Structure 1
Amino acid sequence: MTEVEKGPKGLRRGRGARERILGASRELFRDQGINCTGVDQLCTAAGVSKRTLYQHFGGKDELIAEYLRRFDPEVLPELFDRADLTPRQKLLALFDEHVPLCPFIGAAVELRDPDHPARAFARDYKHAFTARLVETARDAGAADPERLGEQLALLLDGASARSRVLDADAFVTAAAVARVLVDGALPPVSEPAELRSVS
């Protein structure tokens, strides 16, 4: 017999409460922030009772940590693992393809406790993201891949934060700056022979 739970209005619901709660947290935390989202609102959006939420997560802090832990654990594999792009193209595509706003910036700002488990996930993710940039810069032939990786990480975080605050498309400007940084850090790209013969 399938195990069921009762939602806030006594409606019978099947399994999947944990995933519904996480789905609701992804939407609500993204749209209105962590601190502005209450447990009652999460329960209503997920269609579960408070009791069910606390059975799965123990509290809001634990839910926040799990929400961040599940965000992009492989660090943008849809970009960094693409075989059809050169390392240089991958570095620039971060800005051209407008990666989703990173929830770790908002979480780190909203959660003041330095020992909050979500802040640990934020730090770990930012280190992992920069490491992937450094690795890609190294593959592209950068003379100082650590420096280029840090510069691009800072630029991307700045564009993400500015877009969130001003509701403006900061990624267009960031993409132009990224091209300057990448072109200055990598060996010159040689033109194909057919283009050289034309000029």
Structure 2
Amino acid sequence: MTELEKGPLGRRRGRGARERILSASRQLFREQGINRTGMDQLCAVAQVSKRTAYQHFGGKDELVAEYLRRFDPDVMPGVFDRTDLTPRERLLAVFDMPASTDLCPYIAAAVELHDPQHPASQYVREYKQAIAARLAETAREADATDPEQLGEQLALLLDGAAARTRVINAGSFPTAAAIAAVLIDNAIPRQPSDEGSITVESGS
């Protein structure tokens, strides 16, 4: 794929065309869904020709997959890579979502796409598995008795909160965070010196 190409009026375009297509897809897929958005409409909103669109993306399937990758390419680094939080605090921080959080785009895509071989469907599975894996890894750092089980429980709770928020049009993440705290406390054995504070660390 070349970085520069000529648009329909002969003007040279660089990566701006690709970014406009992705920006348009993010807007339209969120507002009206993937299946109801056609390439003609995407190209009109992005102000590119269909030829240009297909030079950047082999087709709509490839575009949908790339649209999803752009949301969180490194699997929530703003939570899992934080060094100022304890492992337990990072597990809880996963549920610290703004009240305006919409339905998870990965869940939305999975609902619309019925082909398990669709490249976006495959990416959704991989992403959700990666979330559970990072939760389990963090649970292991927190000395959970069964980190894999806790990771799956928290991943399921996270997806449930996202879906319920969309269905009832009200934030469910504070409730999910309270449930997560109980699961975490039950999964992580307390040390004899623990008095319930999550910031106390042994080492003296």
Q: TM-score scaled by structure 2? A: 0.84
The residue number in structure 2 matching 1:160 is: 162
Structure 1 segments unaligned to the other structure (5+ residues): 193-199
Map 1:109-148; keep pairs closer than 5 Å: 109-148=111-150
CA drift at 1:131: 0.4
Q: Which amino acid aligns with 1:175?
A: A
How high is the sequence identity, in percent, across the aligned residues?
66
The residue number in structure 1 matching 2:13 is: 14
CA drift at 1:66: 1.7
Task: Give the secondary structure class of the aligned counterpart of 1:95.
Answer: coil
CA drift at 1:159: 0.5
Q: Specify whether residues 13 and 102 from structure 1 end up closer, same or farther in structure 2 by C-alpha distance, changes over 3 A only.
A: farther
Higher mean displacement: 82-91 or 177-186: 177-186
For 1:79 and 1:128, the matched residues in 2 are separated by: 14
Deviations 1:85-141 (A, max 9, x none): 000000011112347743111111101111111111011111111000000000011
The residue number in structure 1 matching 2:188 is: 186
Alignment pair present for 1:177 and 2:179: yes
For 2:13 and 2:148, the matched residues in 1 are separated by: 49
Q: TM-score scaled by structure 1? A: 0.86
Q: Would you say the 8 A contact 2:102–2:165 is kept in 1?
A: no
For 1:131 and 1:181, the matched residues in 2 are separated by: 17
Structure 2 segments unaligned to the other structure (5+ residues): 198-204
User: What RMSD, in angstroms, separates the aligned Cα atoms of the two structures?
Assistant: 2.2
Q: 2:107 aligns with which of 105, 108, 113?
A: 105
